[in-house]
Amino acid sequence: MNANSTYDSELVARAVAQQDAAAFGELVRRHQSQVRNFLRKLTRDASLADDLAQDCFMHAWDKLHTFVGRGSFIGWLLKVAYTTFLQAKRKSNRYGEILEQAGHQDVSNERQSMPTSDEITDLDKFLAVLTEEERAVMILSYACGLSHREISETADLPVGTVKSIIFRGKEKIRERFEISDHQHG
């Protein structure tokens, strides 16, 4: 455990024991960038991601007493973020279904607007060929730098499944974009 995570634990303890909003605010300041980046890559929509990040931190505040300091705080926070994302997606799917049944267009999809063609980056192209689960695991691994064990805790998957998802994701990217050619060239 490094000094930073020890300090995180101290802030968590203060926030839980004294209902200290300032201590939690400091935790938000430290980790907001990573959480928002994770959600932005996952949703590919900056404003939606920021809304989800706010919800994520509010959920984290409510569930802070369940953080027992077994892993890193950012790992726990990303788990909350991923759960928030999945819950929002489930809700928006249900909302879309209700609207479809009522004969309306699926407005929930309109909100998750994709970037315009000139804004599409290599990463967008790569993420587009992955399933949602593969995308989450790849982002947690390569963008957030979590270990396989941490990803397994965050995404609620066995470590073996995490490894095979990463392998499969890399294979897909390799097949579609011929990365191996670039790296050997």
Partner 1 sequence: MKSVIINMVDRMKDTEDRRLESLFASDAIPDAGFSMRIEKRIRRQLWVRRLALPIAVVIGGAIAVKPLAGLVTSLMNFVSVLPANVSSNLSGVSALNLPQMSTIALGSMLVVAVITIARLFEE
**Residues in contact with partner 1 by the rule CB under 8 A:** 19, 21-22, 24-25, 28-29, 32-33, 36-37, 40-41, 50, 53-54, 57-58, 61, 122-123, 126, 138-139, 142-143, 145, 170, 173-174, 179-180, 182-183
* Least separation in angstroms between CB 138 and partner 1: 7
Nearer to partner 1, 48 or 53 (CB): 53
In the structure, how many helices (H) and strands (E) does the chain have? 10, 0
**Nearest residue (CB) to partner 1, 28 versus 86:** 28
C-alpha span between 104 and 59 (Å, rounded): 32
Buried b (16+ CB within 10 A) or exposed e, 152-162: bbbbebeeebb
- Minimum CB separation of residue 102 from partner 1 in Å reads 30
Minimal distance, residue 57 CB to partner 1, in Å: 5
Angle made by CA atoms 149, 174, 121, in degrees to the nearest 5: 90
Encoded amino acid at 15, one letter: A
Kindly tell me which of 49 and 157 has the beta carbon lying closer to partner 1: 49
Which residue lies nearer to partner 1 by CB, 7 or 61? 61
Quote the distance between the C-alpha of residue 61 and its chain's center.
Answer: 17
